[in-house]
Amino acid sequence: MADVTGKVVLITGGGKGIGYGIATAFAKAGAKIAITGRTVATLEHAKQELEEKYGAEVLMVQGDGGEEETVNNIVKQVVDHFGGLDVLINNAMASKSGTSLIDHTKKDFDLAIYSGVYATFFYMKAAFPYLKESKGSVINFASSAGFSGKPGQASYAASKEGIRGLSRVAATEWGEFGINVNVVAPLVMTEQLEAWRKQFPDVYEKTIQNIPMQRFGDAEKDIGRVCIFLASEDAKYISGETIAVQGGTALRP
């Protein structure tokens, strides 16, 4: 496996779901980890498990990524605690999934845009000086909902595609500073995906049929390990790419 020993990794939404799977993979690989989220109890539980099971050094910082001042403070706390920042992983996002486009409200769209595009934008801006110093990596999260047009995902897909565009521009602008920026589009069985499966069973079955391995990915073993590779020196030549990780198969859409 690619080497990320001692790297400082900031994972938004790292207390549960895909984010926790990613945090677990980095903990096992010897990285220093900062996790953020909106619920203190969730973060505390994740921190305790990561420290006790894998001996990782973990910093938890509560906050809403849709608020720029909060994000600036979170990044400062991470850098003050660990002495720097090597990897930024923008995973967290909330949305009104399962609502048709015509039934979406501006409030629904604001939820997805602020927790997705704006949060990613804020974290990237705040982290840039430190990533420039470390010649670090940014890994942002998109979704196949955007580039395949899944029903019931209007605001979610719009925000995720916005993140992809933002990432490509950053990859172009930040390459001269040694910072690589890539996007992962995961398809992982989570509580949210299970709810979507129940609401759209026909679409779910079609989705499964289009996955080469006929299964959904694993947050730690599939998504986490891809992130470790992208955060390592082995992947410094890769930037501006979108990697769709579906059922353990990495594809380039």
Sort residue 162 into left (φ over 0), alpha (ψ -120 to 50) or beta.
alpha
Per DSSP (E only), the strands in 85-147 are 87-90, 137-141
Q: Following DSSP, what letter does each residue of 166-224 receive, concatenated?
A: HHHHHHHHHGGGT-EEEEEEEEB--HHHHHHHHH-HHHHHHHHHTSTTSS-B-IIIIII
76 touches 53 (CB < 8 A): no
Distance, CA of 35 to CA of 148 (rounded, Å): 30
Distance, CA of 100 to CA of 242 (rounded, Å): 26
Longest dimension (CA), the chain: 49
To the query of whether residue 156 is one of the catalytic residues in this protein, the response is: yes
* Two tokens, residue 202: 């026909």
Which residue out of 20, 114, 156, 237 is catalytically annotated? 156
Please name which of 145, 193, 175, 190 lies closest in space to residue 241, comparing C-alpha atoms: 175
- Collapsed DSSP state (helix, strand, coil) of residue 180: strand
92 touches 11 (CB < 8 A): no
Distance, CA of 47 to CA of 55 (rounded, Å): 10
* Two tokens, residue 239: 């930037």
Known catalytic residues? 156
